[in-house]
Structure formats: structure tokens, C-alpha cells
């Protein structure tokens, strides 16, 4: 996933609060989409010395671990 896809996702999905008020914040390992009521965190496909999210399976594993 890249920033263009994130923007497309933000513009195309329907959220329960449906206000349409979304903000995108970027970190070195994630994209965070904030709405009036919700936060969505998408892990970037990156690999650093302190974290490896380079493969989808790794990102999924760490998403479950984070919850």
C-alpha cells in the first residue's frame, strides 16, 4: 500500500460516523486515519533495525499482537 492508495481509501470508504471529516497522519511505520469517532492504523510495508513489517503476514501478526 502506498500514500496514493491510502488517499483513495480515505475518499472511498464509508464510516459509521459518516461525517466525512478525516485526517491522515503519517509515521515512519504507519498511516493513521482519524475521523470524528474512530482511528484506523495501517502498518507500512517497511523493515528497520527495530521492526520488520516487510511482509503482509508480519504486519497482520503485529496488528493482532497490538490489539
pLDDT value at residue 17: 63
Model pLDDT, residue 11: 76
pLDDT value for 49: 95
pTM: predicted TM-score of the whole model, two decimal places: 0.76
Q: Can you give the pLDDT at residue 7?
A: 81
Residues of the chain with pLDDT under 70: 13-19
DSSP E strands, 1-67: 23-26, 30-34, 39-43, 47-48, 51-52
Amino acid at each position: 500500500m502506498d500514500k496514493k492508495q491510502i488517499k483513495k481509501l480515505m475518499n472511498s470508504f464509508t464510516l459509521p460516523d459518516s461525517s466525512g471529516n478525516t485526517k491522515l497522519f503519517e509515521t515512519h511505520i504507519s498511516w493513521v486515519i482519524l475521523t470524528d469517532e474512530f482511528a484506523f492504523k495501517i502498518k507500512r510495508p517497511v523493515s528497520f533495525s527495530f521492526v520488520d513489517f516487510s511482509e503482509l503476514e508480519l504486519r497482520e501478526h503485529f496488528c493482532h499482537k497490538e490489539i
